[in-house]
Structure 1
Amino acid sequence: MMVDFIPAPAYVKSREGTYIGCNQVFLNLLKRTKDDIIGKNDYDLFPRSIADTLLHLDSELLKKGTNQQANIRLVSADGTFIWVKLQHHLQKLEETGEPCIVAVVVDFTEEIKQEQRRSETLVTAAAAEMAIQTIEGMLDPVIILNEQGMVERVNKGYIDVVGPAKEIIGKQVSCLFQDIDEHNTAHLLVRCKQEGRIRNLEARLIAQEGKILPVLVNISRLKDSQQAINGFVVAIRDVSSLVAASEQLREKQRKLDALLNAADDAVLLLDRQGTIKSGNRALSERYQDKLEHLIGHHYTDFSDPIIREEQHFFIDEICVQGKPRRIEFEQNGRVYYNSGYPIFNDAGQVEEIAIFSYDITERKRGEQLQRALYSISEAAYFAKDVASLFSIVHRILSKLVSIDNLIIMLRDTSTGYLECPYYQVSDTTTTADEAIERAFHTGLVDYLLQKGKAILLNHTELQKILDSKDLPRPDCLPLQWLGVPLMNGEGLTIGALVTHHYQHDKEYGEEDRKILNFVSSQIAMAIERKLNEDELRQKNNQLQLLTDGIILSLVRSVEIRDPYTAGHQQRVSLLASEIGRKLGLREDRITAVKIAALLHDVGKIAVPTELLAKPGKLSEIEMSLIRQHPVESYNILRNIQFSYPIAQYVLEHHEKFDGSGYPAGLKADAISLEGRIICVADVVDAISSHRPYRPSRGIEQALFEIKEYAGTLYDPDVVNACLQLFKEGFSFEHLELDLDMQASILS
C-alpha cells in the first residue's frame, strides 16, 4: 500500500473507522503486529476516552473534507502513553474508488518528557531555595548536613544560640552535642534514611560559653530527584524553659505528695465510676495494705456492707450534681467524715473525684463526753432527789462505757465511814450474801481512795489484793474491777464510783478508765449539789412547819378570845385561796392569800373580849375600837419576814372598792388584789355565819350581797370568781375545825 513508503508512522481507515492498512513504523510505535490492527477499530485498540477522541476527529474530517491536525495521546500495547500529532486527510482507494482516511503520526513523546524534567528541575530548585529561605527565617537553630553528616550550612538561629558558623562548617555535627558521638550520629542518619524522619530526640546542646542546653532534635531527609540537594536537615528546639517548668512542676508534685503523705487523714482520687486511682500514706495505713494493692479497687470494696449502698449514692450524687458532698459513717468502731469534691475535664464533665476522709472518732467521743457532762449537770438541777440523780448518772455512763453494774459509795462527813446509797448489780454469778458483796467493794474502795487515783484491776490483781489485805472475800471474783474516786470542785474526795463485770465477752480498757475519770468530778459536784439541796429542802420543811405552827397558834389565840368566830379565819382562808386559783394566780400567790386570810383577824387580840362577844348593837366608840383590828393585825405581822407582804394584805381586807372602807379609805386598784379577795371571802363567811348580835343569814343572802354591790363595795372580777365557785359546788360544810385540819390547809 501507499503508506508503506511513508517514513513516519501512518495508517489507513475506512470511512466506517476500520483499520485497513498501516506501515511497520506505526506497528513499532504501538508495539503491535499487523494482525492486531487490521480489521479492528479504535475501540478495539485504545481506552474509551482515546477512542472517542479519534472517532470525533474522523467524523469531522468526513463531514468537512479538509485536512486536519490534532495533538492526542495514544497508548501502546504495554500501556505506555505516547504523545503524537495526527495529520490526516481523505483519499480514494485505487481498487474501489471509495473514500478512506489516511493519517500520518508524528511522535513527540520524548520532547514532552524533556519539558517535564526541565519543569520538575525548576520546581525542585525553587522548593530547595524556598526550604533554605524558610530554614534561614526560623528562630530555632537549624543545621544542614551532607550525606556523611558533615555540616554544610546553618541558619541565624544557630548563630544566635551556639556561635559563628565558621567554627562548625565542615565538621561532624556530633561535636555540638554532649551525649551524641560520631557512632551515634552515623546510626541516626542511617535510621533517618530508612524512616525519613526522626522526631523529638532528647539531647544536650553545647551552646555559647560552654553552656549546656536541654534540646529536642528533629532530623529529616533532604533529597531531590535531580540530586541537587542530598543530605539532612537537623532542627533543634531549646526546651530548657520547659525542662525548668517540668522540674518546678515535679518539685511541686513532690511537695504535694509530701504534704498529702504527712497528713493523718486519708486522701483518695477516684474516677467517676468510683475506682481508686491514687491515695496517700494515711489511706494505706488505714486499710493496712500497700497503696498499689488498693489502687484499682472500687471505693466501696472497703466499706461495711450495711453502708455500701449509701457510699454508692455518695459517689453518684457528686457525678450527677457536680457539687461537693459530705457523708458521715461508722466503720469498725471508728467514725469517719468524708468530703468529696468533683474534678472537671475540659468539656465541663465530672471526670474524677477527690475525697478527703477524716477520722473524727475522738472528736465524736469528745462531743459525747461534753453532752454527758452537760446531762449530769442538768440532772443535778432537775432530778427530784439524790436517788433519781444516781439512776440518771447510771444511764448516762452506760452510753459512754459498757456499764451494767454500778456502785456509788460516799464518805460520811461526820463519821468518816463509807456508805453505799446506790448499788445496782445485775450480772453477778455469785450466790454469796449481798452484805459480803457490799463489804468486798467497800474494802476495795478504801484501797482505791488510799491510792487517790482511778484503778483498773483484773482477776489476778484482785486475788493478790485479797491475799495481802484482810478484805471480805465473795464466792466469785469479778474478771475486772474499775474504780474512780469522786472529787468535788474543791479537790476533796467525797466517795467513789465502781463498776465491774463477770463476763468473758466484756473487757474494760484504759480508755474506759480515762472516760470515767474525766466525768467523775462532774458527777461528784452533781451529787454534792443534790445532797446540799436535799439538806436545804429538809431545813426549809422544818422551818415551814415552825412557821405553820406559829400561824396556827396565832389563829388559835384569836379563837380562844372570840369563840363565836371559831373557824371563821379558816373558812375565809379556804374560800380566798380558791378565789385566787379561779383568777389564775400562781401557787405562791395563792399560798400568800391563804396565810393572809388565816391571819386577817389576828389584831382582834387587842380588842376587849366583851366587845367581841357583845350580843347587842355596838356604839360608835365601840365600833371605832373594832375597826382598829386591821391596824393591830398589821402591827403584829409587819416584822415577820414572809415571801409576800402579808401584813399589807391583812391591813387592806376591810377596804372597799369605792373607797368607803377602812382604815385608809383606799379605792379600786389602790387596794392589792389579795386584799380585795380576802374582803369578799370575809363578807361571804360573815353573812352566812352566826354572830352574837344576829343569827346566820345564809349563804344565798351572802352571795346576793356581794353580787348586789359588785363594782361599788367589791371588786367585780373577784365577785364573779366567787359566784362561779359556789355555782360549781363549793361549800364550807365539810370543813374540819380542829388544828390537825388547819395544818393541812397550810401544807
Structure 2
Amino acid sequence: FERCVKLGEPYDEELQIITGTGRRVWVRTMGVPERDASGKIVRILGGFQDISELKKAQEDLAQSREMLDLFLDSTTDMAFLKDSSLKHLITNQAYLDFMGMKAEEVLGRTDQDLLPPFLAEQCLKGDLDALRSDEQVLSREFSDGRVFEARKFPVPFSDGSKGVGGPVRDITDRWRAEEDLRESEERFRGVFENATLGLYRTSPEGKILMANPSLVKMLGYSSFDELASRDLSKDGFEPDYPREFFQQKVESEGEIRGLESAWTRRDGTVLFVRESARAVYDPDGKVLYYEGTVEDITERKQAEETLKRQSLRLENVINGASVATWEWNVQTGETVINDIWANIIGYRLEELSPVSRSTWEAIIHPEDLKRVYERIALHVEGKLPYYDCEIRKKHKDGHWVWVYDRGTIMTRSADGRPLVMFGIYTDITKMKEAEEKLRRSFGATIEVLTQVVERRDPYTAGHQRRVAALAAEIALAMGMGAEAADEIRMTGYVHDIGKISVPAEILSKPGKLSAIEMNIIKEHPQNGREILQDVEASIPLAEIVHQHHERLDGSGYPRGLRGGDILIEARILAVADVVEAMASYRPYRPALGIEDALEEIEKNRGILYDPDVVDVCLRLFREKGYVLAE
C-alpha cells in the first residue's frame, strides 16, 4: 500500500486482519493509484475480499499433499501418477531412487523420455491397457534381470481427462521362487509319471488321491479313475493285510520301510510288493494323507522260491556225495562250512565255529598259503575262470591232509569288488600218496635208463645231465613251480635216450656225418618215444622227448611241428639242448663257448626258439651268473 502511495505501483496482497470482534480473518486486498491532470496521486482505489475459506482449503490441501507424500515415501513400493499424456505428475522417493533421478528430472516427462526402449514399451502397454479397459490391470515388466509387478488403474481428472497411476513392486525374489517351484513341480510330475516304482497318496478314509501310471498298470487297471473308484477302507489290496493295521503301524512308527506283502490285482492274481510309506500331518497333528512307494517284487519272490528249492536239492546232493563246501564273505572274512569240511580234517563243525579267515589260514600249510592267495587274486582279476589249488591242511591229530580246493566268485559289488565266493574241496591224500609212489617209481626208471646210457655213451649221459639241470632252472625262473621243474629235470635226463639205437661209431665219429648218418641221428627222438611210451609218469614224458628237436618255424624234426603245437616242456628242452651242445666239446669239434651258444638262441629268438624261454635263459647266464655243470 505504501509503495502504491509513494511510487504509484498497484498492489495485490493476502494478509490476516483482526475484526472488531477479535476474530482473525484472511483477506485479499487490491488497489491502484488515481492521478490528477498533473500526474499527482490524489487517491487510492481498492477493496478487500474475505479469503478465509480459500486459505483454509489451501492449508487442508497442503496438509493432504504432505500426508500423501509421507505415505508414498514410507512404502518400499514405487508409486506414480501420470496425466492423460502419460507424463509424470507424482512419483514417490522409491520411484526416484529406481530411476536414479531427482523429481524435477522426472515430472512432466514420459517413460519414453526416461527409460530404455524395451522397458518403456512394456510400461506403455500396461498404461494403455488400463486406460482402454477403464479398470485395474496387472502387468509384469522385466529389466536387467529384475521383475516388476505393476497394478495400474485409470485416474479421472476434473477436466474430464484420465491419467494412470498405481504402485510398482520389485517381485524378483518371489518370481524366482515361483519359477523354482514351477520347475520343481514339473520335475516332480516327470518323476511321478515316469517312475518305474509305483507312487501313491491316499486319505485316512481310504480314498485314492494320487497314483502314478506304474502303479495303475501294476495293479492291472486301465486308468487312474478306474483305480480311484476303489474304497481302500472296504477292499484294500492285501488279502491278509487289513488297512487298519497299515494305518496303526505307519502312525505309531512314523513310517513303514520295506514292508513285503501280497496284494491282489484287478484280475484276482497275487502281486508281491515291497512298500514304504509315511503319514503327512497338518499343524494340529491330524493325518492329512498317506504317501508311499510300491515295488513289484513278484519275479524276485518267484526266483527266491526257485532258488530255495534248488538250494535244498543241492544240499541233498552235496550231503549224499560227501562233498565239503565253503562260502566265504571276501570283505568280512566270515566263512560258512558244512560238516564234511570239518570232518575231513578231524573236527566236528561246532569245534571250528565261528569260522573266519584266520581259522582256515591257521589250518593251511604255510608253504601253500601264498599260492592260495595268488590263485584267488588271478581269479578275482578275471585271469582264471575259477580258483583251484592242491593244498595241505592240518588234521586235528597233527598230520597233513592233501585236498583239492576249488571255488568261484558268486557275487560282486557295483564297482566290481568280489563279495562272496563259494567252493568245494575233496580229500586227495590217497591220490597224492599214489602220485608220490609213481614219482619214486618214475625216478627209479629214469635212473636205470640214465645208467644204461652212461655205460654205452658217457658223453651223451653227461650232456643229458647238464641239459636237465639247465632246463629245470629255466622252468623255475618261468614260474612253473618246483614240481614241474623236477619233472622237466627228469625228462632232461632221458631226452636223448633214443640214441642207444644209434651205432656208437656214428655218435663218436670225429668228422662230418654223411646224409645217411645224419638221418640215423634224426631218428633218435622217435626211438626215444618208443622206448618211453609205456613208462608211467605224471607228464607226457614220451611226447616231450619226441618233440625236443622241433622248432617254432616248422624247420625241426621229426614231424616239423610249429609254434603252439610244441609242448612248453619240449620248447624249454630245445633251448637248453642247443646251449649245452654248442658250449661243450663234441667228438667232431672243440667247444664253441657259452657266448656263441647264447648268441645263437638270441639271434633266432621267436624264429626257432620260444622267445620267453630264450629271455629267461639269457638272464640266467648274463644276470644270475648261471654256469653249466661239469
- Bigger Rg, which one: 1
Scaled to the shorter chain, the TM-score interval is 0.3 to 0.5
TM-score (norm 2): 0.36
